[in-house]
Structure 1
Amino acid sequence: MNFIQQAYKGKNEWYHYFATILIVFIGWQIIGVLPLFTTAVMYSSDMGEFMTAANTGFTSLGIDKNLFLFLMIITFVFGLVGLLLSVKFVHKRPVKTLITSRDKIDWKRFWFGFLLWGFIAGIVTLSDVFISPEDFISNFKPIPFFTLLLVAILFLPFQTSFEELLFRGYLMQGFGTWFKNRWLPLIITSVIFGLLHGANPEVEKLGYISMVFYIGTGLLFGITTLMDEGTELALGLHAANNIIAAILVTTDWTAFQTDALYIDTSEPSVGFEMFFPVLILYPVLLLIFSKKYGWTNWKDKLIGTIKKPNTGSEETFS
């Protein structure tokens, strides 16, 4: 069975999806934020300061940047736990089916995507520093930086895995079984993925044209998942992207405000660099993956139909 058909190994009534989304929301946005709220209260002098800081994401309270990043990641950890438990106990199917259609999770694919995009993103990011050094300030402080490096490497993959398994896994499969095709789940999950990033401060600074980048990135992850019949490559790409973003360059107007190596002091603007990944780098990545993994039949895998396997009752799946 292909990746979307993995959903048929479990229960797929509307109330199973409703229950899962509710559980994920409670874990992610209620239980998961308690450590952050508790810390924010400790840093606030009174409730007025707390409420004011809440409107800016608590960044004005002076919470250590690495601690703040860790607390933000914790929210996604609880969301991920809620998602995995729901797939197993609400939908009653193996967690592996959320990740891949292969017999086993292919970690070599994850590491290939991670290392390839980590190298490319790192080169592109640092090239900006060398091309326009006047726009960057060196920010290397050994203890904060290496703490950041540890937090980013050990914990950021939980955040990216939650997003990938929710959008390219759970929702892609769910929409696929509902609409009986591949292209609509690809479009819907990419747009939702982009819209959820609409609350990021960089969108406020740059305008909604920046959604081209987020929706385009969602399309990259979605196309990769559909063509490769699993999320391993997308998991690696997303993890590398966020780790590089966290440790190399930071600004005072993006979602990631960290103790990175450099601070970008340039005035935010919309230029070709925003569209460069979507128009140039992402197609190159897809070409590399297609050559390495022998992707064929693009039309059917991206816009083909989805049928329920004729294998008897749901309980016969393993």
Structure 2
Amino acid sequence: MYVEQGYKGTLGLWKYFIFPVGFIGLMVLNYLIIQFLDIDVEALIRSEIERKGTNRFLVESILPLIVGLLLLLLWVKYVHQQSISSLTTSRKKVDWKRISFAFGIWGVITILLTAADIYFSPDNYVLNFNLTKFIPLAIIAILLIPLQTSFEEYLFRGHMMQGLGIMAKNRWLPLIVTSVLFGLMHIANPEVDKLGYGIMIYYIGTGFFLGILTLMDEGLELALGFHAANNLITALLVTADWTAFQTDSIYLDISEPVLGWDVLIPVFVLYPILLLIFSRKYGWKNWKDKLFGKVLTKDEFVALNKNESNLA
């Protein structure tokens, strides 16, 4: 019962609004400024990279989210007085094997699919590998990107999922709200400018996938591992000059940006396959109840935990 873990802190509706409203407000303000001033995001990124270098630009892009992660965890621990463990999982302790498994399986799939695309469409890629530049990138990416993705998971699938679930007393509302907001968070990305709003199918679809992982597995571990692999492998393996991540990756994608099958395949093919794999491995059952069922009241949750403790 992951959503109900929020009862382990001191409740108060205002405590659940501060961070989401503040963060989403900043995202909306950023988007409105870009639209109002008609800023060319791609040109701006290119200019900043030329001035600062790719690694410094990457660090400066990620750093605000890392600070956000630290502030969010401090908020939960000292204002909610809730343990980070109960924000992460309904299990007695964080299952690092789950994080590693999700990271590994999606990392391997991403590498294989990218390798296949490079093999069958070699004209779309340029080998960009430079060991002197790649090593600093790898160190920065490995240390910082998992923190960036963890902030997004702890905010949307953790803090917001638990808060909305406790307030609404159901699971479907937080699943929908957090998934849509997670997708909309990416609306100012240069990919949207290049590919159009159709790319939001991928972003919102990924939000739903991560939300389903969290609710079905009763914890953030699988979502944390998947999200870290997705961003880290992308940053190291292949980037393009029109994406949010522009690094000294092994390959550069020089193809003309087109909204195609690569947006739909993950959402409608790969994610369902992954859900099947995870469900078989971890024995998921009661899909309807876990995704659409009610959230226990605090009294019901406390009574259930007391009964389980007595049986143990």
TM-score, normalised on structure 2? 0.88
- Identify the residue that residue 73 of structure 1 maps to in structure 2: 62
1:53 and 1:60 in contact (8 A); partners too: no
1:116 maps to amino acid = I
Instruction: Establish whether residue 14 from structure 1 lines up as the match of residue 6 from structure 2.
Output: no
Instruction: Establish whether residue 56 from structure 1 lines up as the match of residue 44 from structure 2.
Output: yes
- Identify the residue that residue 255 of structure 2 maps to in structure 1: 266
2:49 and 2:57 in contact (8 A); partners too: no
1:110 and 1:236 in contact (8 A); partners too: yes
In structure 2, do the counterparts of structure 1 residues 55 and 263 end up closer, same or farther at CA, with 3 Å as the change threshold? closer
Instruction: Establish whether residue 305 from structure 1 lines up as the match of residue 265 from structure 2.
Output: no
User: Residues 187-266 of structure 1 correspond to what in structure 2 (within 5 A)?
Assistant: 187-266=176-255
Runs of 4+ in 1 over 6 A off after TM superposition: 22-26, 51-55
Measured against aligned partners, the alpha-carbon deviations of 1:216-270 in whole angstroms (never above 9, x if no partner) come to: 1111110000000000010000000001110111111000110011111111111
TM-score, normalised on structure 1? 0.86
- Identify the residue that residue 120 of structure 1 maps to in structure 2: 109
Measured against aligned partners, the alpha-carbon deviations of 1:57-90 in whole angstroms (never above 9, x if no partner) come to: 4635521101211222211111001100000111
SS at match of 1:253: coil
What are structure 1's unaligned runs of at least 5 residues?
A: 30-50
1:122 and 1:244 in contact (8 A); partners too: yes
SS at match of 1:202: helix
1:23 and 1:83 in contact (8 A); partners too: no
Instruction: Establish whether residue 161 from structure 1 lines up as the match of residue 160 from structure 2.
Output: no
How far off is 1:23 after superposition?
7.5
- Identify the residue that residue 103 of structure 1 maps to in structure 2: 92
Aligned partners of 2:244 and 2:301: how far apart in 1? 48
How far off is 1:153 after superposition?
1.2
Measured against aligned partners, the alpha-carbon deviations of 1:269-307 in whole angstroms (never above 9, x if no partner) come to: 111111111111100100000000000000000000112
In structure 2, do the counterparts of structure 1 residues 211 and 3 end up closer, same or farther at CA, with 3 Å as the change threshold? same
Aligned partners of 2:270 and 2:14: how far apart in 1? 40
Aligned partners of 1:177 and 1:68: how far apart in 2? 39
- Identify the residue that residue 36 of structure 2 maps to in structure 1: none
In structure 2, do the counterparts of structure 1 residues 184 and 272 end up closer, same or farther at CA, with 3 Å as the change threshold? same
Instruction: Establish whether residue 296 from structure 1 lines up as the match of residue 285 from structure 2.
Output: yes
Instruction: Establish whether residue 146 from structure 1 lines up as the match of residue 135 from structure 2.
Output: yes
1:306 maps to amino acid = V
How far off is 1:12 after superposition?
2.5
How far off is 1:149 after superposition?
1.2
- Higher deviation after alignment, 16-25 or 129-138: 16-25
SS at match of 1:137: strand
In structure 2, do the counterparts of structure 1 residues 295 and 54 end up closer, same or farther at CA, with 3 Å as the change threshold? closer
How far off is 1:311 after superposition?
6.3
Q: Percent identity?
A: 51
Measured against aligned partners, the alpha-carbon deviations of 1:18-68 in whole angstroms (never above 9, x if no partner) come to: 344478689x99xxxxxxxxxxxxxxxxxxxxx999982463552110121
- Higher deviation after alignment, 293-302 or 119-128: 119-128
Instruction: Establish whether residue 5 from structure 1 lines up as the match of residue 4 from structure 2.
Output: yes
In structure 2, do the counterparts of structure 1 residues 18 and 10 end up closer, same or farther at CA, with 3 Å as the change threshold? same
- Identify the residue that residue 87 of structure 1 maps to in structure 2: 76
How far off is 1:309 after superposition?
3.2
SS at match of 2:126: strand
SS at match of 1:198: coil
In structure 2, do the counterparts of structure 1 residues 69 and 175 end up closer, same or farther at CA, with 3 Å as the change threshold? same
In structure 2, do the counterparts of structure 1 residues 312 and 62 end up closer, same or farther at CA, with 3 Å as the change threshold? closer
SS at match of 1:91: coil
- Higher deviation after alignment, 233-242 or 68-77: 68-77
How far off is 1:312 after superposition?
9.3
How far off is 1:200 after superposition?
0.4
